[in-house]
């Protein structure tokens, strides 16, 4: 982050089993200046969850109003509950020069790309199909049917990688974080984000 400059929106997604949550948690610990986007949802809070920290908890009516007023960068309905990314939360931080990290599914990322093309889109993948299979099975909560469904969906989702700016292999969490940090630095040094330097010279 550079003082006086607009922040950058980094969107991280990938197939189930890629380790998105783990990598985001580790990255936030290493980069405290980075802001993790908070989603809005109509589902009820779970024990220990706080409004404005884990989610912005909204009624269905409030959420539908946000949709109607174009207050969401993206949204989706999942099992009868709504989830979405509040536009103001992201925009306010970017205007303050704070980089924002948005962890989101691929469908949501493509919505964000349409409305926010200046974002940087990162696709997180496991090092191999064998490792992906092992990670899904390692959860210990998968039936044969659910595993086949999840693994098949992951293989399909991998085809969307070409829609992203960068691919990050999550072989070791620390290494994956280092790669993302390098991308963040590179984006801040990109010419199109530093054209004001030409005027200064």
d(CA 55, CA 43): 10
Sheet holding 39-41, edge to edge: 55-57, 39-41, 81-86, 72-78
What value does the mean pLDDT of the chain take? 90
pTM of the predicted model, to two decimals? 0.86
Low-confidence winner among 2-6, 116-120, 160-164, 182-186 (lowest mean pLDDT): 2-6
2-11, 73-82, 172-181, 186-195 — which is least confidently predicted? Answer: 2-11
Domains of the chain and any CATH numbers: 9-200 (3.40.50.300)
The H or E element that residue 82 is part of is strand 81-86
What are the helix (H) ranges across 142-200?
144-158, 173-188, 196-200
What's the confidence (pLDDT) of residue 11? 97
Residue 196: predicted pLDDT: 85
Q: Which helix (H) or strand (E) holds 114?
A: helix 106-115
Backbone angles phi, psi at 139, to 5 degrees: -70, -25
Identify the weakest region by mean pLDDT among 38-52, 145-159, 180-194: 145-159
pLDDT at 41: 95
Confidence class of residue 3 from pLDDT cuts 50, 70 and 90? very low
DSSP 163: G
Instruction: Say what the pLDDT of residue 1 is.
Output: 47
| Plot region of 48 (φ>0 → left; ψ -120 to 50 → alpha; else → beta) | left
Decide which of 198 and 2 is more confident.
198
Confidence grade of residue 164 (pLDDT, cut at 50, 70, 90):
very high
């Amino acid at each position: 982050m550079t003082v006086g400059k607009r922040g950058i929106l980094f969107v991280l997604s990938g197939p189930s089993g890629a380790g998105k949550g783990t990598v985001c948690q580790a990255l936030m610990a290493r980069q405290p200046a980075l802001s993790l986007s908070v989603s809005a949802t109509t589902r009820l809070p779970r024990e220990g969850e706080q409004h404005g920290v884990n989610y912005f908890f909204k009624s269905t009516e409030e959420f539908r109003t946000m949709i109607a007023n174009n207050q969401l960068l993206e949204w989706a309905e999942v099992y009868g509950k709504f989830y979405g990314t509040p536009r103001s939360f992201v925009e306010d931080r970017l205007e303050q020069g704070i980089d924002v990290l948005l962890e989101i599914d691929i469908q949501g990322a493509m919505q964000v790309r349409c409305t926010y093309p200046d974002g940087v889109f990162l696709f997180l993948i496991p090092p191999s199909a064998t490792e992906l299979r092992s990670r899904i099975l390692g959860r210990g909560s998968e039936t044969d049917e659910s595993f086949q469904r999840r693994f098949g969906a992951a293989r399909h989702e991998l085809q969307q990688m070409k829609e992203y700016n960068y691919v990050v292999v999550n072989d070791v969490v620390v290494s994956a974080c280092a790669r993302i940090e390098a991308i963040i630095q590179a984006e801040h040094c990109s010419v199109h984000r530093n054209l004001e330097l030409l005027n200064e010279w």
